[in-house]
Amino acid sequence: MRETPTTLLILAVAVAIAAAPARASAPVKKKEVLYEARPPPFSDGIFPCSNCHDGKSMKPDPTRRELAFHDEQQSVFDHDAEHRWCLDCHDAQNRDVLRLASGAPVPFTESYRLCGQCHGDKFRDWRVGVHGKRVGQWDGEKTYLLCVSCHNPHSPRFKGVKEITVDGKTTIAPTLELLRPEPRPRRPDEMRGWKRPATAEGAR
Amino acid sequence: MTARKGFDVIQGEPEAADPSRRSFLRTAAAGAALGALAGCGGVSMDDVLRKHFRELSKDDLAKVLTKVERRNKERFGKDTRVTAEGPRPGVEFGYGLDISRCVGCRRCVYACVKENNQSREQPQIHWIRVLEMEKEHGVDLTHADLYYDPGAVPQPGKFYFPVQCQQCRNPPCVKACPTQATWKEADGIVVVDYDWCIGCRCCMSACPYGARHFNWAEPKLPAEELNPVQHYLGNRPRPKGVVEKCTFCIQRVRNGRYPACVEICPVGARKFGNLLDPESEIRRVMDTKRVLVFKEELATHPQFYFFYAT
């Protein structure tokens, strides 16, 4: 009986030695992990983009220019505006996907891979839950929010967010306005003789 | 002789007390207690004679929980589910708050009130208090405003510093409690047994974070706003005259969920997880960010960490 642990140990070491060369020789291609995220916060009726950009009625024009259309993006565009324009991130051939710097297509639901190309430090934090927000279980399944749920990709500095519904699912969309704080707590003296105010405005 | 006898009794009290006198005193004390109880609405003899929460047998605990559910029904006319889920082995909760992200919107304050059945008004009880501080001064309570009320946040030049129970490893409140109505659980949550609390508020004066709150009046909680998922040591409705505090939403976190404040935070400034799990987000924060604890000099050793992610 006393020998059992030793025997087991020797066996384990032998297995490890036998397995080690096999593991070392196999080319370790780190597979990119995909994260389950809430749906991207599209404006109403804008997606799929190929409804308009079908490649027939409108030919793709890859020259950098001020857009005549999409002025809702053009007017707020402040994402390294000096150097960037639409087709750096949007795919010219298939408008329903984004493109990486390598030219590889990325669906809108995985846009974090695109953002992560430049914002590697934030991407690293986001993956482990330090940057941004995850909901679900602290000890299990979590759902991520995409970068674009809080940062408008065309004007990425954080201002505020609101809750929206996309295809029946609740998600979060960035806004261009700052958040309004909830009512301040009541001071002790106010609490003593306090009556519920008639209007919501009176509560403040 | 009678005077002499009386003198003798006083002299010999520890060894030679008159047994009949002692039993008389005991009966009298019990009678007085019963008389006092008759004046307290809703408190029965069982509540007083039962053992401390941590010494309750499984059957006794079930009885206590059923009683709380029955009282909820009487008070709110609603069915509730009161549990007493215990701490999990290998779990020590840690909480992180990113001061560089918090915008001071107070969503957490009201999500907490909704989740934890606090009194809504008179007394208005908030377990989380968000302080507005000046960037120029840093974390400094002499330049902090609890009652800030601008139209939009964050205000330029300000940062926001939410304070709630820090779940200290060396909790001054627990030491101050004369009845052991508050204690630290194995997973780190400092809890209060509202049935055991006598309302002396010693814990409140001991707490350096102002994290404990007293029900000065009967808590006012509309029945339609009652959260029916309750924990005995957490969000079950409180009576008048007891102290209450943040429990990291014990009814949620013991079931694997995030606290309500973490889930509501629109900027993701709040992080929560198991300090003993190296993959948890709180551990990642502690490994990679600049972390501080509030009032470190008091050696309360909080399980609540503030950090700067940028």
Q: How far is A186 from chain B (nearest CA, A)?
A: 7
State the Cα–Cα distance between residues B247 and B302, nearest whole angstrom.
Answer: 13
Q: What is the pLDDT of residues B141-184, one digit of tens each?
A: 999 999 999 999 999 999 999 999 999 999 999 999 999 999 99
CB atoms A140 and B152 under 8 Å: no
Q: What is the pLDDT of residue B11?
A: 45
Q: How far is A174 from chain B (nearest CA, A)?
A: 10
Residues 6+ apart with CB under 8 A from B298: B172, B208
Tokens for B260, please give them. 């309500």
Share above pLDDT 70 across residues of chain A, in percent, rounded to a whole number? 78
State the Cα–Cα distance between residues A44 and A37, nearest whole angstrom.
Answer: 19
Q: What is the pLDDT of residue B185?
A: 96
In one letter, which amino acid is B49?
Answer: L
The residue among A1 and A139 whose pLDDT is bigger is: A139
Average pLDDT over residues B67-96: 95
Q: What is the pLDDT of residue A92?
A: 86
Q: What is the pLDDT of residue A30?
A: 61
* pLDDT score of A204 more than 70: no
* pLDDT score of A192 more than 80: no
Average pLDDT over residues B64-83: 95
Q: What is the pLDDT of residue B114?
A: 96
**Partners of residue A187 in chain B, C-beta under 8 Å:** 147
CB atoms B147 and A150 under 8 Å: no
Q: How far is B172 from chain A (nearest CA, A)?
A: 25
Tokens for B281, please give them. 């987000």
**Partners of residue A137 in chain B, C-beta under 8 Å:** 256-258
Q: What is the pLDDT of residue A58?
A: 77
DSSP A28-40: ---PPPP--BPPP
**Partners of residue B149 in chain A, C-beta under 8 Å:** 181, 183-184, 204
How would residue A95 be classed by pLDDT, with cut points 50, 70 and 90? Answer: confident
CB atoms A179 and B123 under 8 Å: no
Closest partner residue to A133 (CB to CB) among B103, B265, B309 is B265
Most confident of A19-23, A77-81, B51-55: B51-55
Report DSSP state, residue B42: T
Q: What is the pLDDT of residue B8?
A: 46
Question: What number of CA atoms fall less than 13 Å from residue A177's CA on the CB side?
Answer: 6
Asked which of A81-85, A148-152, B269-273 is least confident by mean pLDDT, the reply is A81-85
Q: What is the pLDDT of residue B9?
A: 44
CB atoms B151 and A177 under 8 Å: no
**Partners of residue B274 in chain A, C-beta under 8 Å:** 138-139
* pLDDT score of A6 more than 70: no
Closest partner residue to A181 (CB to CB) among B104, B126, B273 is B104
Mutate to test the interface with B, among A133, A135, A171 (most CBs of B within 10 A): A133
Q: What is the pLDDT of residues B257-266, one digit of tens each?
A: 999 999 999 9
**A196 close to B (CB below 8 A):** yes
Q: What is the pLDDT of residue B122?
A: 86
Closest partner residue to A138 (CB to CB) among B110, B146, B272 is B272
Average pLDDT over residues A2-29: 50
Cα pseudo-dihedral A110, A112, A117, A120, rounded to 10? -150
State the Cα–Cα distance between residues B150 and A182, nearest whole angstrom.
Answer: 10
**Would you tell me which residues 137-156 of chain A have a C-beta closer than 8 angstroms to some C-beta of chain B?**
137-140, 145, 150
Q: What is the pLDDT of residues B276-302, one digit of tens each?
A: 999 999 999 999 999 999 999 999 999
Q: What is the pLDDT of residue B4?
A: 46
What are residue B309's phi and psi, to 5 degrees? Answer: -85, -15
A135 SS3 class? strand
Q: What is the pLDDT of residue B39?
A: 47
CB atoms A180 and B151 under 8 Å: yes
Average pLDDT over residues B174-202: 96
Strand A97-99 versus strand B182-184 pairing type: unpaired
* pLDDT score of A145 more than 70: yes
Question: Domains of chain B by range and CATH?
Answer: 93-308 (3.30.70.20)
CB atoms A138 and B253 under 8 Å: yes
Share above pLDDT 70 across residues of chain B, in percent, rounded to a whole number? 86
Task: Please answer whether residues B267 and B276 qualify as being in contact, where contact means their C-beta atoms are separated by less than 8 angstroms.
Answer: no
**Partners of residue A139 in chain B, C-beta under 8 Å:** 256, 274
State the Cα–Cα distance between residues B55 and B83, nearest whole angstrom.
Answer: 16
| Closest residue on chain A to B96 (Cα) | A130
In one letter, which amino acid is B153?
Answer: V
The residue among A162 and B47 whose pLDDT is bigger is: A162
| Closest residue on chain B to A163 (Cα) | B266
CB atoms A191 and B147 under 8 Å: no
Q: What is the pLDDT of residues B1-51, one digit of tens each?
A: 444 444 444 444 444 556 677 676 666 666 665 555 554 455 677 777 889
**A125 close to B (CB below 8 A):** yes
Does the global pTM surpass 0.90? no
Chain B residues with CB under 8 Å of a chain A CB are: 103-107, 109-110, 121-124, 126, 129, 146-154, 253, 256-258, 263, 265-268, 271-274, 279-281, 284-285, 288-289, 309
**Partners of residue B263 in chain A, C-beta under 8 Å:** 135
The residue among B255 and B47 whose pLDDT is bigger is: B255
**Partners of residue B107 in chain A, C-beta under 8 Å:** 182
Q: What is the pLDDT of residues A102-139, one digit of tens each?
A: 999 999 999 999 999 999 999 999 999 999 998 889 99
User: Is residue B240 classed exposed, middle or buried when 0-12, 13-18 and 19+ CB atoms within 10 A define those classes?
Assistant: middle
How would residue A21 be classed by pLDDT, with cut points 50, 70 and 90? Answer: very low
Asked which of A74-88, B9-23, B39-53, B194-208 is least confident by mean pLDDT, the reply is B9-23
Q: What is the pLDDT of residue B19?
A: 62
Q: What is the pLDDT of residues B220-250, one digit of tens each?
A: 999 999 999 999 999 999 999 999 999 999 9
How would residue A28 be classed by pLDDT, with cut points 50, 70 and 90? Answer: low
| Closest residue on chain B to A126 (Cα) | B281
Asked which of A1-5, B83-87, B269-273, B274-278 is least confident by mean pLDDT, the reply is A1-5
Q: How far is A163 from chain B (nearest CA, A)?
A: 10
Q: What is the pLDDT of residue A196?
A: 58
Boundaries of every domain in chain A: 32-55+67-175
Q: How far is A54 from chain B (nearest CA, A)?
A: 37
